[in-house]
Amino acid sequence: MWKLGREEFGTKHFSVSAKGELIVREGNYQYNIYELAKRFDTPIEIVFPFIIEERLNDTLDYFKYYIRHYKYKGKFFFFYPMKANQNKEFVLPILSEGGHLETSSPNELWLVKRMWEQGRFSNTIRVLCNGPKTNEYLFLIEELKAKGLDITPVIENWRELEYLRNYRGDVGIRIEPNVKVDSHWDKQTDQFGLSIEDIKTIGRLRNLKMISYHAGSQIGKVEDLITPIRKVMSLYVKLKKTNPQLNLLNIGGGFSVNYEKNRKLYSLESATKKIIKTVKIIADKAGIAHPDLAVEWGRYLVAPAQINVYRIIAEKEIVRQNGNDNKSGARIWSFIDGSFQTQLLDTWAIHQKWHVTPANNMLANKFKKVWLSGCSCDSDDKYTNGGSYILIPKIESAEKEGINDPQYVVIYDTGAYQDALANHHCLISSPAKIIVQNGVITIARERETAEEVGQLYGW
């Protein structure tokens, strides 16, 4: 019923205990989410770095396997786009498992500088810098290059092209592939990169090493991961003639996460296989060397590595009325002790639907349909704008709002994008953040106090 323990839904680590409580397994360790919620109180965000490590290793392994299988001559690099989640407990495991980094802003690059200075960086780690570049960003890139970091700025526009012609290292160029793919962005073109037509006119660029693109996020079909590759590879083949040092094709982000868990998505294996095969065929046909390959799959890597746990603090029935004032059905609203609009902003921004289950009473034999509401004073603070119910256990003895034995709910796959988009609407505090790894439970961040929130507003 809850679609737990299923690889194809990205829930293979989750299960329900004999007492009807949500369990997460990491090898021989297991963690009881209901117990954690009681111990640390809610709202909490629980981070599982082992899930990030596993997903990264699976990706590296599949690429390695199919590179050998197809006798592909290029190498593979996984660049983690830091904008998906910049928290330390997300970034450090990626570095230690062989991931490289991609930044979207000078402040993310400043974090890279910190890690470099603290010796958390091996010399084999590469950094790509995307995003429109302010002077501050360009100067920091040059500073880190001079200090010996393997750092490649990705050219976004003509100004950067002129500026970076004399850069003392490799550069990349971002292409707007102008391909319509079934994705979150749902539009054919965006404001990033240079058009294919424009790039054909740049001629020779001494230090051009990579071309990259980003076709969209949450790409729905495996064919849509492949179509832009075909288009961009034909440009790669042309550019390679005038720029023989070019040797890296970066296909950007967009690998999907199964948020709703209502159908199977394409698998990592099938995508890997198709990517390598597609590039190989085109390169062989054109008689050029197989390029090294890179991906920047952010959401894929980190979304499933965090859950948010809330407690239901109140419930009430509201009768909806139509224009004639006749009853047209009642809705049970369940209020959580956190907020969608401040902590899971995509609920509001892009009507994201999340997989939601209880954390306790999971073996109940009756369930009720409820509509979840956040605890801010904003009518948009609900799951989800547009309306969608979830099922929670119907417990006779807990009918009085569960004061002594609260009902907890879990929202899955919250590890990508929500943290940096989070805000303080109604001055609601950020939740506590807990890390669970190797049988050890640590508090990464305490729940924000009223005083800390007040300080942000000059109080």
Ligand X SMILES: *Cc1c(COP(=O)(O)O)cnc(C)c1O
Using the contact rule CB under 6 A, the part of the chain among 3-11, 293-301, 346-354, 423-431 near ligand X is 293-301
Residue nearest to ligand X (CB): 253
Interface with ligand X includes 93 (CB under 6 A)?
Answer: no
Residue placing its CB nearer to ligand X in the complex, 145 or 299: 299
Residue placing its CB nearer to ligand X in the complex, 74 or 254: 254
By CB under 6 A, name the one of 13, 83, 133, 433 that touches ligand X: 83
Residue placing its CB nearer to ligand X in the complex, 268 or 453: 268
Residue placing its CB nearer to ligand X in the complex, 99 or 406: 99
Provide the residue type at 446 as one letter. Answer: E
Residue placing its CB nearer to ligand X in the complex, 250 or 357: 250
Interface with ligand X includes 296 (CB under 6 A)?
Answer: yes
Residues 6 or more apart whose Cβ sits within 8 Å of residue 158: 194
Using the contact rule CB under 6 A, the part of the chain among 22-30, 43-51, 247-255, 438-446 near ligand X is 247-255
Q: Which residues partner with 154 through β-bridges? A: 172
CA distance 275 to 63: 9
Residue placing its CB nearer to ligand X in the complex, 213 or 310: 213
* x/- map, 118-137, ligand X, by CB under 6 A: ------------x-------
By CB under 6 A, name the one of 297, 310, 348, 383 that touches ligand X: 297
By CB under 6 A, name the one of 10, 99, 253, 291 that touches ligand X: 253
Residue placing its CB nearer to ligand X in the complex, 153 or 338: 153
| Minimum distance from residue 453 beta carbon to ligand X (Å) | 28
What torsion do the CA atoms of 234, 237, 243, 246 make, to the nearest 10 degrees? 90
Using the contact rule CB under 6 A, the part of the chain among 11-19, 68-76, 241-249, 252-260 near ligand X is 252-260
Using the contact rule CB under 6 A, the part of the chain among 145-153, 295-303, 360-368, 391-399 near ligand X is 295-303
* x/- map, 192-231, ligand X, by CB under 6 A: ----------------------x--x--------------
Interface with ligand X includes 84 (CB under 6 A)?
Answer: yes
Residues 6 or more apart whose Cβ sits within 8 Å of residue 71: none
| Minimum distance from residue 23 beta carbon to ligand X (Å) | 28
Residues 6 or more apart whose Cβ sits within 8 Å of residue 277: 66, 70
Residue placing its CB nearer to ligand X in the complex, 299 or 382: 299
CA distance 30 to 48: 12
By CB under 6 A, name the one of 106, 252, 304, 402 that touches ligand X: 252
- Residues from 328 through 347 that contact ligand X (CB under 6 A): none
Residue placing its CB nearer to ligand X in the complex, 83 or 240: 83
Q: How many residues bind ligand X (CB under 6 A)?
A: 15
Residues 6 or more apart whose Cβ sits within 8 Å of residue 263: none
* x/- map, 397-436, ligand X, by CB under 6 A: ----------------------------------------
Q: Which residues bind ligand X (CB under 6 A)?
A: 81, 83-84, 130, 214, 217, 252-255, 296-300
